[in-house]
Amino acid sequence: MLIAIDIGNSRIKAGKFENEKLTEIFYFGDMTDALTFLKTALEPMAHQPLAETNDIAISSVVPGKTKIISDEVYKIAGKSPFIIQNRGIKTNLTISYKTPATLGIDRLCSAEGAFFLFKNSGKYKSYNTTTFILSIDFGTATTINVIEYPGKFIGGLIAPGLELMFESLKKNTAQLPEVNISDYKSIIGNDTNTSIASGVVASVVGMIEKTINYLKKKKSAKDMFVCLTGGNAKKIIPHLNFDFICEEGLVLYGINALYKLNKI
């Protein structure tokens, strides 16, 4: 069994994989809960031969938390976890990115997860140059990652997440109130609260739609395989008007795919 751990800016997510299937997902708001989970999962195997213990793979955008969890895994299981890095790692995708050293591991894993799900979908049979795969992560930041045939990561977009947009308007203006997405009523707000909510929603949805339209017009895209994930995904889904799948464990699937490819 593999335990995949996704360490994000706002929370930590863990998933258990058995025979390529994601069987459970766990969410942790703080480090204490995450460490308690690891102890529960790993301590029963602490005295078994290393070959028989669970494997741990980590994707992280917070180096300090990575070290804490990595040290805890070694302390309990007697072996270090597999930590995904963007240097020296084999990928299932061809990375066509001008600054690969700065490519966020979360984005790489999100794209790898989307590519894995696509290859295991019915659409893979008709995969061709007019098919594009998008992974969209609605987290602390909203990121869009684009994969073109035959599995080439060509880049994407990074923007503030929903909460960051709302918080920025509240923090950096003198008179605008604190608002959230529940204040959204329609594309044209008729008071200050609804106008702010409309602006934020339109910014996020418009960014995605502009990306899709660009791929259709400039890249001759005819078919899109769009995967959504992240803590804010369910908040924005009601405002989307295109086909997609929503997979909470998208990054975890990417971690699993990269671990399989790189494990010794």
Q: Could you list the active site residues?
A: 106
Q: Which of 205, 175, 206, 204 is nearest to 192 (CA)?
A: 175
- Among 245, 161, 170, which residue's Cα sits nearest to residue 201? 161
Of 51, 89, 55, which is closest to residue 74 (Cα–Cα)? 55
For 88: left if phi > 0, alpha if psi spans -120 to 50, otherwise beta; the answer is left
Say if residues 84 and 260 touch (Cβ distance below 8 Å): no
At which residue do the structure tokens 């608002």 appear? Answer: 179
**Phi then psi dihedrals of residue 130, to 5 deg:** -95, 5
Q: Phi and psi at residue 84, in whole multiples of 5°?
A: -75, 125
3-state secondary structure of 64: helix
Cα dihedral 216, 206, 161, 198, rounded to 10, equals -160
Q: Are strands 152-160 and 141-148 parallel, antiparallel or unpaired?
A: antiparallel
Largest Cα separation within the chain, whole Å, is 65
Report the SS3 class of residue 198.
helix
Find tokens 């976890």 and name the residue: 81
CB burial readout 220-235, b (16+ within 10 A) else e: ebeebbbbbbbbbbeb
